[in-house]
Structure 1
Amino acid sequence: MFFDPFSPMETLLTTLGFSFFFLYFLVSCDLSLSFSPVDNYLVNCGALLDATVGNRRFVSDSVFKAPSKYVFDVKDPGTHMLRLHFHRFSSPQLNLADSKFHVLVNGLVALTNFSGGRSVGPKVIEYLLWFNSEKVEITFLPAEKSKFAFVSAIEVISAPKDLILETAQSANGGPKVTPFNDSLWRTWLPDDDYFRSKEGSNRVYFSGRIKYQDDGASREVGPDNVYNSARLIESKNASIPNVIEGYQYLVRLHFCDIASISLGLLFFNVYDGHFAYKDLDPSAVTNYLLASPFYVDLVVDADHSGIVNVTVGPSNKSMAYAVDAILNGVEIMKMSNWMGSFDGTMPAESVLKCLTRKRRVGFLLPLIALVCLLLSLSAIIRRRKEKVESVLWSKLPMEVHEISPKQVNNNYQV
């Protein structure tokens, strides 16, 4: 990895110095993770020293103020997870409200007009992208009239092949799951905000072993803490709020039957506004094994009110003495639009044109000032030269008397 500035950098050494990993936690614990990514870049921007969280070592790097880019070598082309961390900081030199910038990742627009002043707390934006090239370029471009761009930390790591896109939200049917309990260091929030009413649903927890299978979900797809808790649903009253209209979303529903007392008792429907899966039988999907996780992917559009209607509900095959429906976790991943953008309607070409125009204007202004200065100096020199010449060639003062013809004749007659 190397840092390539478009223009001279300014290093910001402020309370951001201890940097971002005070952002998440002040504790450390041992992680026993089976996932070992080939590409694993952890950049702790703005810190004087490297930071270690759990068993993850974040390499310290400078915080930039000018348009800049980070370049990472890709050893293993394919799916990669990119996380951008933005943490509020205080500085006597910089006001966070003055930051407004764009972020490009290998030609994709990740963020447009992002401002750190709008964030109340730490903000982590996660992308799952496919890289065919040997390098990953992450470019930070200050927007018009913006004084600087910033980033608190960057993660670029190889990801399992079945992960993609930008993760907009991750919800768990049980308690919050922190990055320390996820092999891909994700945060899963409780699903309370996704239900219009808490009536008709309740939580269930499982203390046994989750049985992962080769053809099912892996620990990288969903950790134990997602699959050993679930929401039991009696009616389809869930929805996914706070999404952006104009984008398609890949919604990943995580299932693991930890509630049934026997195989073949659980049947339910999956809805994406219509029937996505009717009479889904977890026993058949998992080769008749309880507590074995699997997932279902759906591609849906957000409606005009910013809601994705994806939920589960009872089937006509549901039995009176059995569970109606189950849901262990939900991931909502935003798909890039037709312009290759995850944020707004500005393609990468327009963002780069803004930068080129800004740099061109920045180049022309000093040039114009230099031309004006040269013209002014030329005018001053010309004036001084004209004054000198007027002094050297001025006629001597002479006193001329009028002489009459008679006086001339008299002079000749003498």
Structure 2
Amino acid sequence: MANPRNPNRLPSSSSSSSSSSRSVASPPLSSPPRITTSSRAAPPPPLPSAATPPLPPRLRPPRAAPPLPGLRGLRLRAPGGASLHRTARVFPSPSSYEFEIKEKGSHLLRLHFYPFVARGYDLSSASFHVSASGFTLLANFTTADPVLKEFVLWIDSDKLVLSFVPAQASSFAFVNAIEVVSAPKDLIGDVAIVPNQLEKFNGVSRQALETLYRINVGGPKVTPFNDTLWRTWVPDNELFVESDSTSKTLSFSGRIAYQKYGASREVAPDNVYSTARVVDGSDSNHNMTWVFPVSSGYKYLIRLHFCDIASLALNQLYFNIYVNGNSGYGDFDLSDAAGHVLASPYYIDFVADADNSGKVIVTIGPSKLSSPSWIHGLLNGVEVMKMNNSIGSLDGDASVVLVTENPVKRGFGEFVRSILCGFAFMSLLGIVFMLVMRLRAESGRTVLWSPLPTDVSGGKWGQGFPVASGKLEL
């Protein structure tokens, strides 16, 4: 079963959609400093199944970006494996790729890491940082297993600079393949609901996002060949809380009714909207719950996909939506939201923090508006994306300024800073010592005198204290 923590399995081939230009950069034959990509190539290979809906007619699989001279790095080739992952470029020092951006807006960035051993390099021992578009994407990253990292970045310039920096002077960075996809305009909205609060979260599209989970609820795995943006959707079995509900899964063989201003195939494919998990009328007192382990200290974009493939008529599906136990949407009427069309897709975006246990919990519960004979809850798909923190990082407290610093210069700088700090500390100790010695010297010369009488008569001391001119003993 696919690991839901890494929903994007490494595909053996790649492509692009009609609404996006897609670029794949695999390590070139010579040493490049920058890579400019292109997405014009031959038509795509045939789909694996005749029942699968055809991809858009302008779909073009990308070709490897042409190399430009000057990029530091070593090209390695593995003895076997998929063609996309048989090669890698190793970076013993900070290096960058540069991609031309034709249209400003949201872009998908996918980084393929497929460690192997070649020419004395064990890629599983690499430790490095990755940054792009002013954000830290990965910090002190290392992996022993094949992994695909997907990010969504807002790019408002004509170039995307992707940097790889070894974490230490003795380490190195590597990458097997890079994809840059111009995302459809409706892929990432700008406003999301904050559960249990009146205000909404604005500026979602300008955040850096990392895809953590992409789930096909109640259905099988959806491979990149069946997704116009070449995404992978995994089943929800490992994330669904079985004991919390007696739900059932549904599949729909009819046509998904995409609306002009609703969710498109680029938002989610037919195979996601044509399957669902539901709570029927016989289980009206139970919820459906999914639990997603995440990292604390970040906000998360939680996208829920809905498509009413269960109701026999309109306005027969009402339910409540909860995120981390907080009300996200009460008495949700899917018929009204989807334009009063059955089997019409719709999605809702929420922004929430992880709960105290480091989880994002999504719950679908029955509404009081439901009838006993109706479906009491439905969900077709879930996506969970990590949002950058306050210093622009998706991976810890390392800012982009820190991770892009040359580790050799960083080490020398740390050495100089340690010398300066040591000198400042010793100077401070010297000043404190001199002050203490001065105070001691002054206290040694201090004399405390007893009070003397002021009543003097006839040249003799009057009554009072006896004449005593000595130091007062304490």
- Interval of TM-score (by shorter of Structure 1 and Structure 2): 0.7 to 0.9
1:24 aligns with 2:29: no
Match of 1:59 among 41, 49, 64: 64
Residues 1-400 of structure 1 aligned to structure 2 (within 5 Å)? 23-25=10-12, 35-38=18-21, 40-45=22-27, 54=45, 56-59=61-64, 62=75, 63-66=89-92, 67-117=94-144, 120=145, 122-161=146-185, 162-163=187-188, 164=205, 165-173=209-217, 174-197=219-242, 199-233=245-279, 234=283, 235-272=286-323, 273-353=325-405, 355=407, 357-358=409-410
1:56 is matched by which residue type in structure 2? P
Alpha-carbon distance change, 88 to 301 in structure 1, aligned in 2, over 3 angstroms = same
1:312 counterpart SS class: strand
Question: Could you tell me how far apart the structure 2 residues matched to 1:295 and 1:212 are?
Answer: 12
Say whether the 8 Å CA contact 1:236–1:313 is kept in structure 2: yes
Say whether the 8 Å CA contact 2:331–2:367 is kept in structure 1: yes
Question: Could you tell me how far apart the structure 1 residues matched to 2:27 and 2:157 are?
Answer: 24
1:236: how far off?
2.4
1:238 counterpart SS class: strand
1:160 is matched by which residue type in structure 2? P
1:44: how far off?
2.0
1:311: how far off?
1.9
1:56 counterpart SS class: coil
Question: Could you tell me how far apart the structure 1 residues matched to 2:328 and 2:272 are?
Answer: 23
1:359: how far off?
7.6
Question: Could you tell me how far apart the structure 1 residues matched to 2:29 and 2:178 are?
Answer: 13
Question: Could you tell me how far apart the structure 2 residues matched to 1:265 and 1:202 are?
Answer: 18
1:137 is matched by which residue type in structure 2? V
Question: Could you tell me how far apart the structure 2 residues matched to 1:144 and 1:227 are?
Answer: 46
Say whether the 8 Å CA contact 1:196–1:238 is kept in structure 2: yes
Alpha-carbon distance change, 322 to 42 in structure 1, aligned in 2, over 3 angstroms = same
2:103 is matched by which residue type in structure 1? D
1:255: how far off?
0.1
1:245 is matched by which residue type in structure 2? S
Say whether the 8 Å CA contact 2:248–2:278 is kept in structure 1: yes
Alpha-carbon distance change, 90 to 217 in structure 1, aligned in 2, over 3 angstroms = same
1:237: how far off?
4.0
Q: Which runs of 5+ in 2 are unaligned?
A: 1-8, 31-36, 46-59, 68-74, 76-88, 189-204, 417-474
Say whether the 8 Å CA contact 1:269–1:280 is kept in structure 2: yes
1:288 is matched by which residue type in structure 2? H
Deviations 1:316-369 (A, max 9, x none): 11211111100000000111000000111111122234546248579x9xxxxx
Question: Could you tell me how far apart the structure 2 residues matched to 1:34 and 1:95 are?
Answer: 35
Question: Could you tell me how far apart the structure 1 residues matched to 2:23 and 2:17 are?
Answer: 18
Higher mean C-alpha displacement, 104-113 vs 137-146: 137-146
Question: Could you tell me how far apart the structure 2 residues matched to 1:361 and 1:311 are?
Answer: 50
2:293 is matched by which residue type in structure 1? N
1:47: how far off?
7.2
Say whether the 8 Å CA contact 1:35–1:220 is kept in structure 2: no
Say whether the 8 Å CA contact 2:91–2:164 is kept in structure 1: no
Partner of 1:4: none
1:185: how far off?
0.7
Question: Could you tell me how far apart the structure 1 residues matched to 2:353 and 2:405 are?
Answer: 31
Say whether the 8 Å CA contact 1:78–1:130 is kept in structure 2: yes
Greater percentage in helix: 1
Which has the greater radius of gyration? 1
Q: Which runs of 5+ in 1 are unaligned?
A: 1-21, 365-414
Say whether the 8 Å CA contact 2:130–2:403 is kept in structure 1: no
Q: How many corresponding residue pairs?
A: 334
Say whether the 8 Å CA contact 1:98–1:146 is kept in structure 2: no
What TM-score, normalized by structure 2, do the two folds share? 0.66
What TM-score, normalized by structure 1, do the two folds share? 0.75
Alpha-carbon distance change, 81 to 229 in structure 1, aligned in 2, over 3 angstroms = same
Question: Could you tell me how far apart the structure 1 residues matched to 2:374 and 2:179 are?
Answer: 44
Report sequence identity in percent: 44
Say whether the 8 Å CA contact 2:128–2:165 is kept in structure 1: yes
Deviations 1:159-193 (A, max 9, x none): 01232522111001111111111111111110112
Question: Could you tell me how far apart the structure 2 residues matched to 1:94 and 1:323 are?
Answer: 57
Question: Could you tell me how far apart the structure 2 residues matched to 1:23 and 1:276 are?
Answer: 34
Say whether the 8 Å CA contact 2:223–2:232 is kept in structure 1: yes
